[in-house]
Amino acid sequence: MKPTMRGVMLCAVMVSLANGGESGKIDYPQELSAEKQQTLEWFSESRFGMFIHWGLYSVPAGEYHGKKVDGIGEWIMKRGNIPTEEYEQFAEQFDPVKFDADAWVTLAKDAGMKYMLITTKHHDGFCLWDSPTTDYDVVDRTPDGQDVIKALSKACKKHDIQLCLYYSVLDWHHPDVSYRNRDAKQDFNRYVQTYMKPQLKELLGGEYGMIPMIWFDGFWEEWWKPEMGKEIYDYIKEISPSTIVNDRISSDFPRTIIGDYVTPEQNIPSVPTSNIKVGDFWETVLTMNNTWGYRKDDNSWKSDRELIRTLIEVASRGGNLTLNIGPKADGTIPQPSVDGLNAMGRWLKVNGEAVYGTSHSPIGMMPWGRLTTKGDDKVFLHIFEWPRDRFNMRLEQMSGRKIKRIYLLEQPEKSLEFVRSGMEVRFAVPQPCPDPIATVIAIEFETKRKNK
Ligand code: FHN
């Protein structure tokens, strides 16, 4: 069932796997407010957004004292064992003279993305907004001193893109929770009450506009207890009732999931999985190379074909794709990311109707490609393997419906001739293949007559 068609008693995802490693699951139904339902509907219809990992780690960009530090770029402080005082000094070199909020948002918009999700504070604790709670932020510590979140919120508003915020629970810099400071003076609860909560209020309280999604991360530390997660979930409801919360707020993840939507990372779940049901809200978060935060030596860029087909794959299973960029410290975006996003935008310009506001495939995956549907009168065939002459398809569940028209999305005015016999439909396709990455054919059915 299409998520947006779920009833008023829509449930938040509060799932816990049974003890003892059984694959069964227990649902804890929780009624969602009308505001949250509305945001979830927007989320599901959007299908495609931009993730941005930007922070001090983009200064060393994977290298410390001339030596490579393995792993994802944004983890360099921990993986490279960089002393806090030394890491803090990267702020002086975080000089985004080429940062252009309008250009970033336009890049996302032209790629066909509907939202932008940025790291306000990653695990290193450095804040990308002017936080009154700390001076460890971009305004107080960097030469440019620009509030990045403010600039993006302005640009997003201008270009009609929704700004969403990432916030790391764990913090390697804050003395009350940093793994470097484990001593009796650490007070985890003080961090939650006097640091995390005020900061969330700064971010979600209205200064940066209405934020539809908050995206927590870094929930796995021992000090972070399930009740703290629940407290923060409830706190968000209080300070920003329409904001939906991701599933990474419980310390017991993935055994216990508290949140409104699910966030598989670097993989596309087959739906249903142990914790995603058909009709749940979810987004795959994915890198365009192998790192989230910029590293200068990572050139394993995904091809245009992989990117576009991944978006189709995700949509055909009923989810969103949130694709990451890792800008450099000067504010420029690596060219291969720009090129990949432009290619996706060109494809979506022609075929967006088969992605936005669609539902999952009614018949799973096909050897020739994937399907999405819209309403009860359109099925889109995303064809990866273009047939040499004719296309044969069994209509399966759709067999009872009369076909009105079949056409290519890139040539909507030209109907393709088809022959229908029972469950089968056959039609000739033009040659050569219009788009070897994915050509979309729409099958339009007669809409059901309402009984009088
Ligand atoms: O540790 C982080 C990682 O740096 C990155 O932010 C990703 C993005 O989903 N999340 C965490 C790992 O799950």
Q: CB of 161 within 8 A of CB of 115?
A: yes
Give residue-wise pLDDT tens across range 187-198. Answer: 999 999 999 999
- Model's pTM, two decimal places? 0.93
Written as six digits, the tokens of 349 are: 């310009």
Ligand 1 neighbour 265 (Cβ under 6 A): yes
Q: Is the pLDDT of residue 443 over 60?
A: yes
Q: Is the pLDDT of residue 225 over 70?
A: yes
Ligand 1 closest atom vs CA 293: 4
Q: Is the pLDDT of residue 23 over 50?
A: no
Strand 25-27 versus strand 283-286 pairing type: unpaired
**Interval between CA 95 and ligand 1 midpoint (Å):** 24
CATH number of 34-354: 3.20.20.80
Ligand 1 neighbour 292 (Cβ under 6 A): yes
Give residue-wise pLDDT tens across range 34-63. Answer: 999 999 999 999 999 999 999 999 999 999
Ligand 1 neighbour 163 (Cβ under 6 A): no
Dihedral of alpha carbons 222, 227, 232, 237, sign: positive
Query: Which residues pair with residue 283 across a beta bridge?
Result: 320
Angle at 187 (CA atoms; ends 181, 189), nearest 5 degrees: 135
CA distance linking residue 244 with residue 247, whole number of Å: 10
Give residue-wise pLDDT tens across range 120-174. Answer: 999 999 999 999 999 999 999 999 899 999 999 999 999 999 999 999 999 999 9
Axis-axis angle for helices 101-110, 148-159 (nearest 10): 40
Please tell me the residue having the least CA distance from ligand 1 atom 7. 292
Question: What is the predicted pLDDT for the residue at 253?
Answer: 67
Lowest model confidence (mean pLDDT) among 21-30, 229-238, 267-276: 21-30
Q: Is the pLDDT of residue 15 over 50?
A: no
| Domains 8-17+360-445 and 34-354 are alike in CATH topology | no
Residues 6+ apart with CB under 8 A from 5: none
Question: What is the predicted pLDDT for the residue at 447?
Answer: 82
**Interval between CA 97 and ligand 1 midpoint (Å):** 27
Question: What is the predicted pLDDT for the residue at 284?
Answer: 98
**Interval between CA 272 and ligand 1 midpoint (Å):** 23
Written as six digits, the tokens of 351 are: 């075929």
Instruction: Identify the residue with better confidence: 275 or 177.
Output: 177
The one-character DSSP state at 55 is: S
Q: Is the pLDDT of residue 300 over 90?
A: yes
CA distance linking residue 344 with residue 308, whole number of Å: 6
Question: What is the predicted pLDDT for the residue at 231?
Answer: 94
Written as six digits, the tokens of 29 are: 């139904």
CA distance linking residue 290 with residue 287, whole number of Å: 6
List the chain domain ranges: 8-17+360-445, 34-354
Q: Is the pLDDT of residue 26 over 50?
A: no
Q: Please, which pLDDT band fits residue 451 given cuts at 50, 70 and 90?
A: low
- Give me the CATH topology for the region 8-17+360-445: Immunoglobulin-like (2.60.40)
Written as six digits, the tokens of 192 are: 């939650």
CA distance linking residue 199 with residue 132, whole number of Å: 8
Ligand 1 closest atom vs CA 285: 9
Which of 165, 149, 167, 151 shows the shortest CA–CA distance to 115?
165
Q: How many CA atoms lie within 13 A of 23 on its CB side?
A: 4
Residue of 70, 217, 283 with the most ligand 1 atoms within 8 Å of its CB, for mutation: 217
CA distance linking residue 327 with residue 118, whole number of Å: 11
Q: Please, which pLDDT band fits residue 10 given cuts at 50, 70 and 90?
A: very low
Please tell me the residue having the least CA distance from ligand 1 atom 9. 265
Q: Which string of DSSP letters, residue by residue, matches 183-248? A: STT--HHHHIIIIIHHHHHHHHSSTT----EEEEE---STT--HHHHHHHHHHHHHH-TT-EEBSB
CA distance linking residue 28 with residue 423, whole number of Å: 41
Ligand 1 neighbour 202 (Cβ under 6 A): no
**Interval between CA 32 and ligand 1 midpoint (Å):** 27
Q: How many residues does the chain have?
A: 452
The one-character DSSP state at 163 is: E
Question: What is the predicted pLDDT for the residue at 450?
Answer: 54
